[in-house]
Each structure stands twice: as structure tokens, then as C-alpha cells.
Amino acid sequence: MSTEASAKAGAKAGPIEAYHEKSALNNGFKGAIQAGAFGLFVSAIQNSLGTHKQGAMGVFTRSGSTIGLFTAVGAAFGLTESFVSNFRQRDDSVNGAAGACASGFVFGARTGSVPTMFGSCAGLAALVGTFGAAGRSLTGPYSAGLVDAAKGDNAHSDNPNGPGEAGWRSERERRRTSFFKEKKPVAEAEAEEE
């Protein structure tokens, strides 16, 4: 295929986004640090709510295993997500689901139960995979009027230059008014009662 023909084929298909490789060790380390910091916070809460004589060092001596668990979970997520992403050469929700599955295995390993490991893997993978497939947003792309997934454009927007709140709000108002009955004027309502 000549370069001219391949350029025409590329123009018809649209721009192909280049995949940028992720450093698995770097992401694993970042995940471990962030999750370990959260584990320290949880351990401090566990220490403050418990009755003991260790004082502030109880964060590390009594509930320090919480810090280690969260650190291992964060590292497993970061490493696995980056590794799967690099292997598949894609950045989508499957990578997050694989990382969450690895994290679930680490969480389940603490109990020593294989069914708990598999259950945690499946549960976290479903949760994170669904979140990723929904656009990595709790409200979704429609609440901000970003895109229509079926059409691939900003179909909910009145603004032809890009996404905007006005288009989404007018569409929502149109749906609301078509759903609810219109109120009768007060004079008509009183006439019907008599």
C-alpha cells in the first residue's frame, strides 16, 4: 500500500491516538506511597479509637499491619494496571479492572481464604472496571454535556463550538416538561369545580 493510499485510509478512519507506555515500577511505587499514606491515616484512627497503653506509637505497634496492607494493595494495583496497559497497548477500563483484581487478591490474602481472595478480586474488578467504563466519573459525561456516546459528538449541547452547560440544561428542561402535566390556570380550575 502506498503512503498516499495509507494517508487517505487514515483520514477516513480518523486520527489514531498513539499509546504512551507507562512505567510499571514508577506507578507501583506511587500507588504504594499513596495507599500507604491512607493506611497510616486508617491506622491512626484505629489507634485513637482503641483503649491501650502504647500511646501514639500504637499506630505502628498495634495497627501497623494496616499500613503494610494498604501499601501492598496500592503497589499491586499500580504495577498490574501499568503492566496490563503496556502489554495491551491500550488505556481503557480493562487495565483498571486487572489492577483492582490484583488488589483484591492482596486484600483476600490477609484472611487466608482462597474464596475470599477470588471474591475480592471479582468485586473490586467489577467496581473499578465499571467506573472506568463509565468515563472515570461518578456523574458521567452527560451531566456536563460532554458527548453522546452513540454519535460521538456533543449532541446534548446547543453550543456548536463545544460542550456546554446550556445544551444539557435545555434538554433536561424539555424532558421535564414533557413528562409532567401542565398546570391548569386557576380560573379554569375554579370553573370546573363549580
Task: State pLDDT tens for residues 65-81.
Answer: 899 999 999 999 999 99
The Cα 36–Cα 44 span in angstroms is 12
Q: Is a pLDDT exceeding 60 seen at residue 22? A: yes
The Cα 158–Cα 165 span in angstroms is 9
Residue 98 one-letter amino acid: A
The Cα 155–Cα 123 span in angstroms is 34
Instruction: Give me the mean pLDDT over the 114-133 stretch.
Output: 93
Residues in contact with 193: Cβ distance below 8 Å, sequence separation at least 6, in sequence order: none
Q: Is a pLDDT exceeding 50 seen at residue 9? A: no
The Cα 168–Cα 171 span in angstroms is 5
The Cα 157–Cα 87 span in angstroms is 37
Q: What share of the chain is helix, strand, coil (3-state, %, to 5)?
A: 70, 0, 30
